Each structure stands twice: as C-alpha cells, then as structure tokens.
Copies of this chain bind each other. A is one copy, B any other.
Amino acid sequence: METRIDSQLLEKAVGELSKLPGIGRKTALRLALHLLRKDPEEAKALGESLIEMREKISYCARCHNISEEETCPICSDSRRDQKTVCVVENVKDVITIEATHQHHGLYHVLGGLISPLDGIGPSDIEIESLVERVSKENIQEVILALSPTLEGDTTNFYIFRKLNELPVKVTMLARGLSVGNELEYTDELTLGKSIQNRIPFS
C-alpha cells in the first residue's frame, strides 16, 4: 500500500531517508515521525553531523582508510609497527580489526574485492598502490585479512602473485574453528583446514 503524505517537507525527508541501504519507506516514515516528536535540536544535531562528516572526512593518501587529515591517525601513529601492513577490503574491516587489539601495524584498504561477475577487476581496487607501498616503504610483512569467500580468495591470490617478486613475507588470516561454536556444526571445509593448520597446544 503506497502511503501518500500530505506534507511535502515530511515527504522529502522520508524520500531521503529511504535512499539509505536497508531503510524502506515504512521505516523512513517511522524515523521521520520520531524526529517530529522530539526536540528540534535532535534533528538539527543529526542532520548537521551527517553533513559535516561527509564534508570533512576524506581518505588517507597512504592507506586509503577514512581520515580527517591527509594522513590517517593510524598511519601517523609512530608507536605502531610501520613494517607490518594488514590488507583489508573496506573501512569497516579496519574498525573491526582494531577492536581485536591484535594488530599493531598499519593498514591498506583495497576498497573492494576482485569480482569478475560484478565487473570489478584488479585495477578497480587499490592493489597497484599496495605494491608501490611495499616496494618503496620498508615493509616486511603483508597480512591478507580478506573474507574467506570466492572473491576474497581470488584477491588474496592475485596480491600474493604481485608481491611474490618483492622481499616481503605474505601471510593470511587462519581458517579454523569459530570460538564458541560446536565442532559438530563446523562445515567440513573449515574443519579440514583447521586440521591441516593445527597449532601446538599451549
């Protein structure tokens, strides 16, 4: 049922909200009516924060992570290990890996994965700039932290071949059991990998 909204201003706000991914027209209307019930300051704070964020955030010239400066806070942090670079698909993955507190080096954000079906080739993502960084900076280890999917594996393999001639160690995230998951429910492929890559008991 298409809902007609009598107010053009409400209609416009609903239209803009429903352009967001996963937000349908019904949800957009619910959100807009919520804002109408709240203090005007709340809508103002939300609206202005979105505009300011988009205007002032751009991308780090070195690692392509989001950044308010030319170089992002991670690249600029001299306490971080400048010799280890973790390659990720997107900005969200940087945030996710940072939350583990297990990576103390830098990042390189590809901005996508190689996916012939979607028409995304190696030149559409930041692989050339990675190879250039590895040739020019004194990088000793590249950690491939891409999703264990067809696209991720293809991209891993492409990057591995590209870096093969350079004096750099290339590693990738371990495939194995998910912590907290029952062995019984682990798929055979993952279980197989976890046997191949078994680690000393400690």
Instruction: Please give the residue numbers on chain A whose beta carbons come within 8 Å of chain B beta carbons, in ascending order.
Output: 1-10, 12-13, 15-17, 19-23, 27, 29-36, 38, 40, 42-57, 65-68, 72-74, 90-92, 95-96, 98-99
Q: How far is the CA of A6 from the CA of B80 in the complex (A)?
A: 14
Q: Residue A50 contacts which of B22, B47, B72, B95 (CB distance < 8 angstroms)?
A: B47
Given contacts A3-B95, A3-B96, A22-B27, contact A32 B53 (CB under 8 A): yes
Please tell me how many copies of the chain the complex holds: 2
Is the contact region of chain A dominated by helix, strand, or loop, or is it mixed?
Answer: helix
Given contacts A20-B34, A29-B92, A92-B29, contact A57 B7 (CB under 8 A): yes
Beyond A12-B52, A36-B53, 8 extra complex contacts between A and B, CB < 8 Å: A3-B98, A9-B53, A9-B56, A10-B57, A16-B50, A17-B46, A32-B50, A36-B54
